[in-house]
Amino acid sequence: MRHALDQNVGVLRRMFASKLSGIFNILVIGIALSLPAGMYVLLQNAQGLVTRFSGTPQISLFMSMDAKAADVDKVRKQLEQLPAIERVEFVPRAQALEQLKQSSGLADVIGSLNQNPLPDAFIVYPKPSQAAALDGLRGDLAKLPGVESAQLDSAWAYKLEALLKFGRILVLILASLLSLALVAITFNTIRLQILTQREEIEVSKLIGATNGFIRRPFLYFGTIQGLLGGITAWLIISISLLLLNHQLAALAQLYASQFALHPMSLGDSLTLLLFSMYLGWLGAWLSVARHLSQIEPR
Amino acid sequence: MIKFDQVNKRYPGGYQALKNVSFEIAAGEMVFLTGHSGAGKSTLLKLIAAIERPNLGSVLVNHQNVGVLKNRALPFLRRNLGIIFQDHKLLFDRNVFDNVMLPLQICGFDYRESHKRARAALDKVGLLKREKSNPIALSGGEQQRLCIARAIVNRPSIMLADEPTGNLDTEYAHEIMAIFKSFHQVGVTLLISTHDESVLQYAGGRALVLKHGELQP
């Protein structure tokens, strides 16, 4: 075992001897991978926003500004009798204003208002079985007396979700193309390595080396190059996120809210590294399969 | 050990290198292969190592028809052969010691054992003191001896040497022949091609004479 290691270390050392071109290769792989992977991380963050807000769809029912307490009671009773509705939550206008103050970071602006611009509201939670008929339900509720308007709260989330689906396809296309590029880069690097070591390969074949023995160091090289490229991509993404978050923190402070981009999860990081290793291995394998058979001793 | 039966070899382009060659070499024999240059000596040796394949006839090595051997099996045939190439085929990107280590690494010998064997092989050809040198710094005779050390390091039962004394002066040539003789004495089968009559006289032994691809009686 130690011997096999020794042998491969020797070959790998010779392969990595051309440092500069090696570093450039790894950089190219890293940048190529960081584009789709970085976009994926941003999408994940956006996805986080969507799921945070769109768990179960709700309908917000806004009373007209001049509705009396009696009107509100009447609507509440009607709502509680509707079979399609699971439960109803009443938000008095004063409470709504308070919530707005706390959550949006517009405390200063709201404080300067001399009257409450918000109406009384109900938050209606439809039964899950009603998912398909939500729009009809919203129309019915809007027609109740004293109700100014009814809004399907999750509508924007659905729109964003649709947008994210578009983004995901974009990432997928980008990732496929750049993965191909990575395989091509490795293919070519290994081709050059094989050419420069042509003599050694020829002699090895003459004195009884199996194809597996000759192939192995090239496969290792491709895999290691892929891994180093993956690490580079990970660093590019992590450092970019760090820089972005630094700037975001300043921005979020202006709005008195807390928002930060999440870094790559452990699982995603591992996937990135394993995937880049696999691609490097694949490129090397294809190259070796293509070029080693052309070197036959004469 | 080695048996040629009606072997014909024609290269692409029509050049007939060997015509109806038949002979047999017993285990432990030392046989010389002579003839003018272009007579087919190198081709004959290449057929034994399955570097080339015959068009007709069979080449048996250890009762195995190497002419029809699958590519997958070739490495294991060649590990049994110690081949000394006309052009040495040394690797100049590593030192003398690592050149001799290569066959051992290929066969997967363990670290300690392979070091021991490589030293022993270098000692046998008198290059132990040069183990750290680059082969390019060696003289022609030393390079030839290094090539021998690499061929014997995994102790093959058959040795093939293609013009091992090709461009050496007589004194060096006899030195090399003395090394071959010592292998012969420990039972190795040797087939040595040469066009040098003085070597033949010095070493003795059977000679196969090739002329335009045909074996002379």
pLDDT in tens, B144-179: 999 999 999 989 999 999 988 877 888 888 888 888
Q: Which of A113, A136, A153 is the last residue of a domain?
A: A153
Instruction: Compare all CA atoms of chain B with the CA of A208 and give the residue at the minimum distance.
Output: B75
From B75, B89, B114, residue closest to A203, measured CB to CB:
B89
Instruction: Compare all CA atoms of chain A with the CA of B73 and give the residue at the minimum distance.
Output: A210
Q: Residues B119, B21: one domain?
A: no
Which residues make Cβ contacts (< 8 Å) with residue A211, sequence separation at least 6? A292
User: What single-letter amino acid sits at A102?
Assistant: Q
From A199, A207, A297, residue closest to B103, measured CB to CB:
A207
Q: Which of A114, A131, A153 is the last residue of a domain?
A: A153
Residue-wise pLDDT tens digits, A187-230: 999 999 898 888 889 999 999 899 889 999 999 999 999 999 99
Q: Residues A109, A201: one domain?
A: no
Q: What is the CATH number of the domain that holds B32?
A: 3.40.50.300
Q: Residues B166, B73: one domain?
A: yes
| Residues B90-102, mean pLDDT to the nearest whole number | 92
Residue-wise pLDDT tens digits, A13-35: 666 666 777 888 899 999 999 99
Give, in order, the Cα–Cα distances in Å from B28 to each of A70, A295, B23, B85, B183.
118, 34, 15, 21, 9
Q: Residues A66, A149: one domain?
A: yes
Q: Residues A26, A68: one domain?
A: no
Which residues make Cβ contacts (< 8 Å) with residue A209, sequence separation at least 6? B75, B106
Phi and psi of B39, rounded to 5°?
Answer: -80, -10
Q: Residues A289, A185: one domain?
A: yes
Residue-wise pLDDT tens digits, B18-44: 999 999 999 999 999 998 888 899 999
Range of the domain at A82: 59-153
Q: How far does B47 lie from chain A, in Å, by closest CA?
A: 11
Q: Which of B105, B131, B155 is the last residue of a domain?
A: B155
| Cβ contact B73:B23 at 8 Å | no
| Cβ contact A84:A162 at 8 Å | no
Q: Residues B211, B149: one domain?
A: no
Q: Give the whole-angstrom CA distance, residue A196 versus residue B92.
A: 13
Sign (positive or negative) of CA dihedral A279, A281, A282, A286: positive
Size of chain B, expressed as the number of residues it contains = 217
Q: Residues B145, B171: one domain?
A: no
From A3, A10, A209, residue closest to B109, measured CB to CB:
A3
Residue-wise pLDDT tens digits, B107-156: 888 888 999 999 999 999 889 999 899 999 998 889 999 999 999 998 99
A2 pLDDT more than 70: no
Q: Do B111 and A204 touch (CB under 8 A)?
A: no
Contacts of B103 in chain A (CB under 8 A): 207-208
Could you tell me the pLDDT band of residue A138, with boundaries at 50, 70 and 90?
confident
Q: pLDDT at position A73, please?
A: 84
Q: Residues A26, A162: one domain?
A: yes
| Cβ contact B210:B47 at 8 Å | no
Q: Residues A217, A180: one domain?
A: yes
Give, in order, the Cα–Cα distances in Å from A193 to each of A18, A44, A90, A131.
10, 39, 72, 60
Q: How far does B112 lie from chain A, in Å, by closest CA?
A: 9
A13 has a chain B CB within 8 A of its CB: no
Q: Is B217 helix (H, G, I), strand (E, B) or coil?
A: coil
Which residues make Cβ contacts (< 8 Å) with residue A111, sequence separation at least 6? A101
Q: Which of B155, B173, B192 is the last residue of a domain?
A: B155
Contacts of B108 in chain A (CB under 8 A): 3-4
Q: Helix %, strand %, coil % for chain A, to 5?
A: 75, 10, 20
Q: Residues B150, B56: one domain?
A: no
Q: Residues B163, B66: one domain?
A: yes
What is the Cα Rg of chain A in Å? 31
Q: Residues B71, B9: one domain?
A: yes
Q: Which of B102, B121, B155 is the last residue of a domain?
A: B155
Contacts of A298 in chain B (CB under 8 A): 51
Q: Residues A129, A231: one domain?
A: no
A6 has a chain B CB within 8 A of its CB: yes
Q: Residues A141, A180: one domain?
A: no
- How many structural domains are present in chain A? 2
Residues facing B207 on adjacent strands: B32
Whole-number average pLDDT of chain A: 83
Q: Do A208 and B78 touch (CB under 8 A)?
A: yes
Q: Residues B60, B24: one domain?
A: yes
Residue-wise pLDDT tens digits, A268-291: 999 999 999 999 999 999 999 998
A4 pLDDT more than 60: no
Q: How far does A274 lie from chain B, in Å, by closest CA?
A: 29
Range of the domain at B138: 87-155
A202 has a chain B CB within 8 A of its CB: yes
Q: Residues A39, A174: one domain?
A: yes
Quote the pTM value.
0.74
Q: Give the whole-angstrom CA distance, residue A181 versus residue A177.
A: 6
Q: Residues B38, B134: one domain?
A: no
**Cβ contacts from A onto B, under 8 A:** 53
Phi and psi of B208, rounded to 5°?
Answer: -100, 130
Q: Choose from A7, A15, A207 for mutation: most chain B CBs within 10 A.
A: A207
Q: Choose from B43, B71, B102, B162 for mutation: most chain A CBs within 10 A.
A: B102
Q: Residues A169, A257: one domain?
A: yes
Q: Is B207 helix (H, G, I), strand (E, B) or coil?
A: strand
Q: Give the whole-angstrom CA distance, residue A241 versus residue B37.
A: 72
Q: Residues B74, B169: one domain?
A: yes
| Residues A56-71, mean pLDDT to the nearest whole number | 79
Q: Which of A153, A177, A202 is the last residue of a domain?
A: A153
Q: pLDDT at position A1, please?
A: 44
Residue A249's CB is within 10 A of a number of other CB atoms, namely: 12
- Residue, of B197 and A288, whose pLDDT is higher: A288
Q: Residues B201, B172: one domain?
A: yes
| Cβ contact A201:A226 at 8 Å | no
Q: Residues A108, A191: one domain?
A: no
| Cβ contact B165:B173 at 8 Å | yes
Given the DSSP bridges, would you call strands B206-211 and B30-34 parallel, antiparallel or unpaired? Answer: parallel
Phi and psi of B8, rounded to 5°?
Answer: -120, 135
Q: Give the whole-angstrom CA distance, residue A228 versus residue A232.
A: 6
A252 pLDDT more than 50: yes
Q: Give the whole-angstrom CA distance, residue A121 versus residue A205.
A: 83
Q: Residues B165, B75: one domain?
A: yes
Q: Give the whole-angstrom CA distance, residue A26 versus residue A222.
A: 11
Q: Residues A44, A72: one domain?
A: no
- How many structural domains are present in chain B? 2
Q: Do A7 and B111 touch (CB under 8 A)?
A: no
